[in-house]
Amino acid sequence: MAVRTATPVTGWLLRGSDGRLTAYAPAEGGVVRWTETRPGGPEWTGPELLAVPGLEACLSIAQSPQGYVYLVGVRQRETEAGEVDTDIVYATQFQPGRPPTNWRSIGSPHGPDRQRSAQLGVPTAAVDSTGLQVFVRNSGGGVCGRRQDARGIWGPWTDMKGSHVLDGLTASATPSGRIELLAPASEFVLRWRQEQPGGPVRRVRNVPAKPGACSATAGVTGEDRITHFWRDAVDGELHTLAAETAAAAEAGGDADAEPATASVGGTGSGAVAVLHAVLDGHECTVLAQRAASGLPAVAVCPSGDEVLAAQWSETGEEFAGAPALALDAAGRVTVAVLGMDGHLRVARQRGDAAGLALGAWERV
């Protein structure tokens, strides 16, 4: 069986409709879940295994404005004839702590072609104003997408073009339901976006860059602003679109203008977690990454000007994968990581200090 690169995603800590946080992690044979016993914690249930035979150890997670959580992954199953079927599957969790729906297949963009389907990348997902959308690197190194309509009915797979795409596509949606998609490639960062919520996801100008595989992420940093980040393939430094480039795109500026990138500072590995939060009355972007030391590192910068995030503060202990960020029921910035022992660890913002000061790490 072909095995995809296990892309460590950052959006695995989510607040549900009842205010409780839930953490998810791919595991052998399914998905592991931890859930707060009450909004704001500190007690949790779990780890609980949501068994999914054949699910690979890679996972994409998306959430709707109603709080519904969509778990999307790749499943491989061996037939009686000894061949392998590969398809993309998803499940929906409507309420925190409740069992998700049965896992449903949305097939493969390569249809019954087993050889090409086995070469699919790790999918990424986002929810626009209409429904769930799933994107995946195809066997030719381009990108394919499939979307639900307002009735929940899936349309056909669409060839979204692109070439030389690496592992680690990342999609995100604004609060109004407008999606942007980023794909790292060998010499560029490829981008797609909806101009209007629910509209077509169209290709926009490439960004010249040398992104590392599995290092890209995107997060909401304003009312209708998504900021993309990726890590340089050579030195591991974080990069993003320069603020003026992003602002020009939002204002419908010159589509032929050369996109400019900027360094965010701080070296490390994997994708960076992104959270929009209000700290001391100011709109901020909180970033969390796995530092070169292997420890969690956190930085705060003004929303829309993420290149000012020069001060990274390391905390906690060495962990695996990528960190996650969320606001808990009390509005506290919450950082979560998976320790080297597989246990969930959580640190929350202290309410008795200015700025972002984290309290003690809790082992769940």
Assign residue 135 a region (left: φ > 0; alpha: ψ between -120 and 50; beta: otherwise): beta
Q: Which pairs count as long-range contacts for 225-228, CB under 8 Å and 24+ apart, including other chains?
A: 225/174, 225/250, 225/303, 225/304, 226/172, 226/173, 226/174, 226/180, 227/274, 227/285, 227/304, 227/306, 228/170, 228/180, 228/182, 228/189, 228/191
Query: pLDDT tens digits for 331-343?
Result: 999 999 999 998 9
Report how far residue 145's alpha carbon sits from residue 359's, in angstroms, rounded to the nearest whole number: 41
Tally helices (H) and strands (E) across the chain. Answer: 2, 27
Q: Which helix (H) or strand (E) holds 189?
A: strand 188-194
CA–CA distance, 279 with 335 (Å, rounded to integer) = 15
**pLDDT score recorded for residue 10:** 86
Each residue's pLDDT tens digit, 254-269: 445 567 788 888 788 9
Residue 176's region, left for phi above 0, alpha for psi from -120 to 50, else beta, is alpha
Q: What would the mean pLDDT of 132-156 be, rounded to a whole number?
A: 96
Name the CATH architecture for the domain at 13-273.
6 Propeller (2.120)
Handedness of CA 364, 335, 266, 225 (dihedral sign): positive
Fill in the amino acid letter for 226. Answer: I
* CA-based max dimension of the chain: 64
Q: What is the helix (H) or strand (E) element at residue 220, kind and residue range?
A: strand 217-222
Share of the chain above pLDDT 90, in %: 77
| pLDDT at res. 3 | 41
Dig out the tokens for 71 from the structure: 């778990």
User: How is the beta sheet containing 132-137 ordered, strand by strand?
Assistant: 124-127, 132-137, 143-147, 158-159
Confidence at 352, pLDDT banded by 50, 70, 90: confident
What is the rounded CA–CA span in Å between residue 9 and residue 112? 29
Contacts of 14 (CB under 8 A, 6+ apart): 21, 22, 24, 61, 63, 69, 326
Kindly tell me if the per-residue pLDDT of 223 is higher than 60: yes
**Cβ-based neighbours of 298, under 8 Å, separated by 6 or more:** 286, 287, 288, 312, 313, 315, 335, 356, 358
Query: Is the pLDDT assigned to residue 1 strictly greater than 50?
Result: no
179 DSSP β-pair partners: 173
Task: State pTM to two decimals.
Answer: 0.93
Q: What is the pLDDT of residues 81-113, one digit of tens each?
A: 889 999 999 999 999 999 999 999 999 999 999
